[in-house]
Structure 1
Amino acid sequence: MKNNIDFLSLNKKAWDNKVPYHIASSFYGNDEFIKGKSSLKHVEIALLNRLQVSGKKVLHLQCHFGQDSISLARMGGVVTAVDFSKMAIEKACELAEECAVKVNFIEENVLTFNPFGDALFDVVFTSYGTIGWFPDLKSWAAVVSRSMKTGGTFVMVDFHPFVWTFDDEIKLLAYDYFQAEPIVEVTNGTYADRTAPLNDTIATWNHGMAEIITALVDAGLIVKEFKEYDYSPYDCFSNLREDEDERFRFAHLQVRIPMLYSLVLEKPNL
């Protein structure tokens, strides 16, 4: 039966529904953001600063309502940002105008995005809660690769796939690390506002680190850096405590586990 479900429409509807609650949430802190605070976290800021993105063409995949895209533009990047949610892109355009920042926002399924020629990018960026929405990482990695100029760089920061094997309370291992079938479930609220009156059906997929890296390498990219971190920069899971600034760990676990990873890959000169 799962094969007959329109996963794209399910997920698009869910993300459209989240947008107004996310914009109003303290999680996203939109008032402070409009005043100039960056929405980017220290892990990706360090990686992007090394690349000196000012003046470079930057593609932001799965941009949601645009905070990170606008933050990239504030760093000097010439930014194009893509998301499949109509509501998110509409609000992103409004937010960029309110912030007096120029970003080219595009409403499109990331998997069909296909720039070419002068439209290719120096830097492609994606972060936090991204690839779990795709059943096929080969198609996703192909988009990343074909969007990059020769010599371009892909920067990715996301939650470690091991985290997605736990149940919602982070008490039991409930999902396969090697997950071939979609996980179809009803979610209550949203990570940014757990009290939001939302009951959306979503479909997600777990992808292990080997699958992620192999897909990108098979798409012609070269791994330059891979790191794992024992914390989340967001307070977005159950039972977290903030041990250090923007370093949240599970309060009840007595061992350190990977919660985050970063990847930097380059498109080689052939």
Structure 2
Amino acid sequence: MEDYNLYFEANRSLWNKKTPVHLNSDFYNLPAFMAGETSLNQIELSELGNVKGKSMLHLQCHFGQDTLSWARLGADVTGIDISDEAIRQAEILRDKLNLEATFVRSDLYNLKENLQGQFDIVFTSYGTIGWLPDLNKWADIIDHFLKLGGTFYIAEFHPVLWMFDDNFEKIVYPYHNTHTPIVTESEGTYADRNAPIKQVEYGWNHGLGEVVTALTSRGIYPEFLHEFPYSPYNCFANMVQGEDGFWRIKGYEDKLPMVYSIKATKMDR
């Protein structure tokens, strides 16, 4: 079996560089968040519902804005991320806001070695699973940490988007996971395209069939799979904002699926 540590370490280094840029970006709008504004979107807020009093594990939480937003809504939250700097900043934010939250620095695949317990909800969102080569290992982690009868929820960018080049002019990458990493030289970041960051990154595309099968094979069955023709974020090139406030690729408005969401329940096998 291939050793993915080289890829993960490169990506960890990249996210350590991205985190300080993201903290100071308009994209993440930290002043508004510190003043009480949520970082969550209507998609996940409406679909996941009331989390008050529930334990939640947030996979690939970055510097914890969404994790802490769920804490503000009453969840007992634990966030994990591969980036040392992201977890350090998440803990600083938590303490400044006087919120209850636990943050753990861990490669997702090795989480069993770094975290104990089970949770009512396992949550992940927007730009997470593309950093993982093997969704069977990902689903094993979800299965391990999710209570029987618990809820798994993901809102994620649609795999069709990752088939295109950076400017959405042509299809370059496969829809299906070939298990060979997609290697690109990252310049800047989606939160600041002019940021002085340049480094090779490694990613993998995952079709919807792969995602659903990884979950159902472990007894985690979807209540729904929704697809949306818009993004809540202006995070790709050549995006235009509609009257509804959402973002679409110019020239492909309402023609491309941009986001999907899955809400699933862990059943007795």
1:25-83 deviation line (CA, Å, top 9, x unaligned): 0000000000000000110010222xx21001011000000000000100100001100
| Aligned AA (2:7) | F
1:95 Cα deviation from its structure 2 partner: 0.6
Contact 1:114 1:143 in 2 (8 A): yes
1:226-251 deviation line (CA, Å, top 9, x unaligned): 10000000000111111134411112
Q: What residue is the counterpart of 2:86 in the other structure?
A: 88
1:4 Cα deviation from its structure 2 partner: 8.8
Contact 2:48 2:263 in 1 (8 A): no
Q: TM-score, normalised by structure 1?
A: 0.95
Q: Give, in whole Å, the separation in 2 of the partners of 1:8 and 1:37.
A: 32
Q: What residue is the counterpart of 2:227 in the other structure?
A: 228
Q: 1:53 to 1:169 in 2, by over 3 A?
A: same
SS of corresponding position for 1:65: coil
Q: How does 1:1-270 map to 2 (within 5 A)?
A: 6-49=6-49, 52-114=50-112, 119-180=117-178, 181-253=180-252, 256-270=255-269
1:187-222 deviation line (CA, Å, top 9, x unaligned): 100000101000011000011110111111112211
Q: TM-score, normalised by structure 2?
A: 0.95
1:115 Cα deviation from its structure 2 partner: 8.2
Q: Give, in whole Å, the separation in 2 of the partners of 1:4 and 1:160.
A: 24
Contact 1:152 1:267 in 2 (8 A): yes
Contact 1:232 1:246 in 2 (8 A): no
SS of corresponding position for 2:148: strand
1:141-188 deviation line (CA, Å, top 9, x unaligned): 110111111100001000000000010001111111123111111110
| Aligned AA (2:23) | I
1:109 Cα deviation from its structure 2 partner: 0.9
Q: Give, in whole Å, the separation in 2 of the partners of 1:70 and 1:244.
A: 29
SS of corresponding position for 1:261: strand
Deviates more, 1:151-160 or 1:178-187: 178-187
1:253 Cα deviation from its structure 2 partner: 2.2
Question: Which runs of no fewer than 5 residues in structure 1 stay unpaired?
Answer: none
Q: Give, in whole Å, the separation in 2 of the partners of 1:68 and 1:196.
A: 23
Question: Which runs of no fewer than 5 residues in structure 2 stay unpaired?
Answer: none
Contact 1:115 1:146 in 2 (8 A): no
Contact 2:155 2:259 in 1 (8 A): yes
Contact 2:229 2:254 in 1 (8 A): no
Identity %: 40
Contact 2:10 2:201 in 1 (8 A): yes
SS of corresponding position for 1:76: coil
Q: Give, in whole Å, the separation in 2 of the partners of 1:4 and 1:78.
A: 32
